[in-house]
Amino acid sequence: MINTYQTSLAPPPVPPRLNRSHPVLIPGQLPSQGHSKSVIWFLVGVALLHLFLSVGAFIFLYQRGTLENSSAAEGKVAAHSSGKQETSYRALARMVVARPRQPTQKSTSGYFQWDVGHSIHRNVNYYQKSWLTILESGDYYVYSRVTFSRGDSVRPLAAIVKLKKNESGEEKTVMQAFCHLDSHSGSASIPHLCTAMQGDVMTLEKGNLLSVWVQDLSLVNYDEGATTFGMYKL
């Protein structure tokens, strides 16, 4: 049998329907060259602005840190200067003892007299050349050094610091020191010496007076640096 359903001819094309619309593809427009340049310049401007802001912030922070360090250094210098100035005006005295004008072998007890021209005193005054007057109340370190060149056959050699509350006040012993020498020891060429040294912290009020008393002024060595009296405010 012959297959009448097979044929070599292609079926005819289906005609388009008149009532259906076909989409039409329209290619999009490429961006213009001027628009691309504008975008590039905008990005460059943003980058430069960011760079300028970063540099400005760095300079600001650097200058601020420099100023803070400078202010801190100036503060330290000012504090150091203030402390140094305060120390330089602190009350003190270092009194040189005057040599008696007419030394005698007779026992003459009494108070030392100060050689004011060779002494140092700041914010501390002196009264009748034998007393030191306190001008500022506070805590003071008081010291004395008395060197003896001859001994006493009856009593030990003593240096006594005395205090008066005011010019008319009663004398009070606040410090004393002793040393011993044989009354027959020593010679003109090789003298025997002893030194009575003492120091203590005491609270003094404005108007107080201090001095050093010895039982025999003729036994004291008046060489420079051998005998002195002083104080300084803490």
pLDDT in tens, 115-159: 999 999 999 998 988 999 999 999 999 999 999 998 888 888 999
pLDDT at 43: 83
Residues 168 and 52 in one domain: no
Query: pLDDT tens-digit profile of 31-65?
Result: 556 667 787 888 888 888 888 888 888 888 887 77
Residues 63 and 117 in one domain: no
Identify any residues that bridge with 157 across adjacent strands, giving them in sequence order: 179
pLDDT band at 167 (very low <50, low <70, confident <90, very high): very high
Q: Is the dihedral of CA 136, 137, 138, 143 positive or negative?
A: positive
Residue 22 lies in a domain: no
Q: Which of 141, 46, 45 is nearest to 91 (CA)?
A: 141
Of the listed ranges 3-17, 143-157, 178-192, the one predicted with least confidence:
3-17
Helices H, strands E: what count in the chain? 1, 11
Residue 28 lies in a domain: no
Residue 103 lies in a domain: yes
Residues 54 and 144 in one domain: no
The set of residues, in sequence order, having a beta carbon less than 8 Å from that of 209 and lying 6+ positions away, is: 127, 131, 132, 133, 134, 163, 164, 165, 166, 167, 169
CATH number at residue 187: 2.60.120.40
Residue 13 lies in a domain: no
User: Residue 172 corresponds to which tokens in the numbers above?
Assistant: 């009070």
Residues 118 and 50 in one domain: no
Residue 1 lies in a domain: no
- Where does residue 173 rank: exposed (0-12), middle (13-18), buried (19+ CB within 10 A)? exposed
Count of domains in the chain?
Answer: 2
Residues 151 and 80 in one domain: no
Confidence (pTM): 0.60
Residue 227 lies in a domain: yes
* Inter-CA distances, 194 with 146, 149, 181, Å: 8, 7, 7
> Do residues 181 and 194 lie in contact, with contact meaning Cβ atoms separated by under 8 Å?
yes
Residue 26 lies in a domain: no
% of the chain beyond a pLDDT of 70: 71
Structural domain including 53 reads 35-89
Residues 97 and 81 in one domain: no
Residues 182 and 220 in one domain: yes
% of the chain beyond a pLDDT of 90: 45
pLDDT band at 76 (very low <50, low <70, confident <90, very high): low
Residue 19 lies in a domain: no
* Inter-CA distances, 160 with 175, 198, 226, Å: 6, 9, 16
Query: pLDDT tens-digit profile of 89-117?
Result: 789 999 999 988 765 555 578 999 999 99
